[in-house]
Amino acid sequence: MNCLDYRRNLETEPGRVTPEMQAHVQTCAECSAWSAGLRAFEARLQRALAVGVPAAKALELPALSTPPARRFALAAGVLGAIGIAALAWFSFPRETLAAELVAHVEEEPQSWSTTEPVPEPTLDEVLRRSQVSAHFPPGSVTYARSCRFRGHLVPHLVVHDEQGSVTVLILDAEKVSAKTSFSEEGMSGVILPAAHGSIAVLSREGAPVDAIAERMREALGS
């Protein structure tokens, strides 16, 4: 290792000193002095980044379940709104479903960062909970959770296909009459009718979701 490589490596990852770098700095006085300067710079940088944090603002958290006492009061309002809501629903059902799918996927960002295949028993359990049967290529599923979506427990999977990674949600309770494509919040996706309900396939990497969705539908035996 020469001085240039040593300095470039240390300047890129100051916390990572390999045995080769260690060997170099022990024999190079210039780089040893330079390293001390870099360490001082790093300490200063760290302090500079740690700006003061203002006091926390009050955070009003929405209730996640409706208390029984309020249900009757809410029911009247809900019934009154049903006519308008139904009109909106039937006018834009797919847009609403797509937006909710994107919001749901965004709330599980860790789903994209896992790379280890999900063990088959885990995947089977996730599918079983929603009474879904599917056959994915071994090792292709890297994320599998049972998620609550629109009141139903749905399998939320990340599947590595030869054309890219996609998020798949199997929506047995969501019936759609035709294929719908959408693009929201930097994600592209498609919702396809399936034997029971529908299947949603989303990608944030520009993967060809139409082609992959067809293969996912085949995996579901639809």
Partner 1 sequence: MNRASDGNERRRRFDALCTALRPDLFRFAFWLSRDRAIAEDVVQETLLRAWRAMDELRDEKAARQWLLTIARREHARLYERKRLPTVDVDELIEREEPLLAAPDELELQDVRRALFRLDEAYREPLVLQVLMGYSTEEIARHMGLKVGAVLTRLFRARHQLREMLAGETRAPLPAARLERT
Residues that bind partner 1 (CB under 8 A): 2-5, 7-8, 11-13, 28, 30, 33-34, 37, 41-42, 44-54, 56-57, 59, 61-62, 64-65, 106-110, 112-113, 145, 147-148, 185-186, 204-205
Cβ distance to partner 1 smaller for residue 3 or 75: 3
Cβ distance to partner 1 smaller for residue 159 or 219: 159
> Least CB distance from residue 59 to partner 1, whole Å?
6
Is residue 198 within 8 Å of 171, Cβ to Cβ? yes
> Least CB distance from residue 28 to partner 1, whole Å?
8
> Least CB distance from residue 113 to partner 1, whole Å?
4
> Least CB distance from residue 47 to partner 1, whole Å?
6
> Least CB distance from residue 188 to partner 1, whole Å?
14
For residues 195, 196, 202 and 207, what is the CA-based torsion angle, rounded to 10 degrees? -10
Cβ distance to partner 1 smaller for residue 4 or 84: 4
Cβ distance to partner 1 smaller for residue 112 or 214: 112
Cβ distance to partner 1 smaller for residue 52 or 77: 52
Cβ distance to partner 1 smaller for residue 8 or 175: 8
> Least CB distance from residue 109 to partner 1, whole Å?
4
Nearest to 145 by CA among 133, 154, 135, 134: 154
User: What residues contact 95, with CB distance under 8 A and at least 6 apart?
Assistant: 182
